[in-house]
């Protein structure tokens, strides 16, 4: 009975009732959010916003439900909104020029196909390479036997770096497929 009395008083704008409800439910909402966020600052911020929203919308509270359940539902929604904001802020706009610069960075880390290729017996590998089209054979030879960088291959063949990357990627995939089928 006491809680409903304070809720009704708060609906009428009674500051003492607001303070009572805040004090009474603070630990429950804060504890719930602390478990979810595992961060004291975030839990506190969410709890503050929860009470702010709850007090703004107190007129919409349905007394058929427990007040703490209503508060927890609001807290969950505030938390979800916070996560969405964080997620959307992870995506930053970049210019076409910056995108092109990022694209032009050659990937020198070995891929799964690279690992598979380097594992193979050399004579057997040479036989597999001969099954590729000549332009794929050439980029494989330059990359793995002459150990040239993407940039060096690009200059050697007088082709754009992006073309070399795509050719090598395609050549490695085709070679890996040939190796897999011959095993």
Domain check: are 136 and 78 in the same one? no
Enter the pTM of the model. Answer: 0.49
Q: Would you state the pLDDT for residue 145?
A: 85
Residue 95, domain member (yes or no):
no
Length of the chain: 183
The domain boundary residue, chosen from 89, 123, 152: 89
Domain check: are 70 and 138 in the same one? no
For the record, the structure tokens of 136 come out as: 């794929």
The CATH number of whichever domain residue 51 belongs to comes to 1.10.1740.10
One digit per residue, pLDDT tens: the chain, 183 residues? 589 999 999 999 888 898 899 889 999 999 999 999 998 888 988 988 898 889 989 999 998 889 999 999 999 999 999 888 877 666 555 566 655 665 565 556 666 666 666 655 666 778 888 898 898 899 888 988 888 888 899 999 998 887 787 788 788 888 888 888 876
Residue 35, domain member (yes or no):
yes
Domain span at residue 32 reads 2-89
The domain boundary residue, chosen from 24, 56, 89: 89
Q: Would you state the pLDDT for residue 169?
A: 77
Domain check: are 56 and 130 in the same one? no
Q: Residues 6 or more apart from 18 whose CB is under 8 A from it? A: 10, 55
Domain check: are 79 and 124 in the same one? no
The CATH number of whichever domain residue 110 belongs to comes to 1.10.10.10
Q: Would you state the pLDDT for residue 87?
A: 73
Q: Would you state the pLDDT for residue 170?
A: 80
Q: Would you state the pLDDT for residue 1?
A: 57
């Amino acid at each position: 009975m006491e809680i409903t009395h304070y809720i009704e008083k708060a609906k009428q704008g009674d500051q003492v009732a607001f303070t009572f409800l805040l004090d009474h439910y603070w630990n429950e909402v804060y504890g719930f959010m602390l478990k979810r966020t595992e961060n004291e600052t975030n839990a506190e911020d969410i709890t503050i916003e929860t009470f702010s929203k709850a007090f703004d919308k107190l007129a919409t509270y349905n007394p058929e439900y427990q007040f703490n359940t209503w508060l927890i539902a609001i807290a969950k929604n505030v938390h979800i909104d916070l996560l969405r904001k964080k997620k959307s802020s992870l995506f930053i706009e970049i210019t076409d020029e910056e995108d092109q610069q990022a694209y032009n960075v050659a990937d020198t880390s070995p891929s799964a196909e690279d690992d598979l290729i380097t594992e193979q017996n050399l004579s057997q590998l040479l036989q597999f390479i001969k099954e590729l089209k000549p332009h794929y054979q050439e980029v494989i030879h330059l990359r793995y036997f002459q150990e040239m960088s993407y940039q060096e291959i690009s200059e050697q063949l007088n082709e754009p770096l992006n073309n070399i990357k795509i050719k090598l990627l395609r050549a490695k995939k085709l070679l890996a497929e040939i190796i897999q089928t011959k095993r």
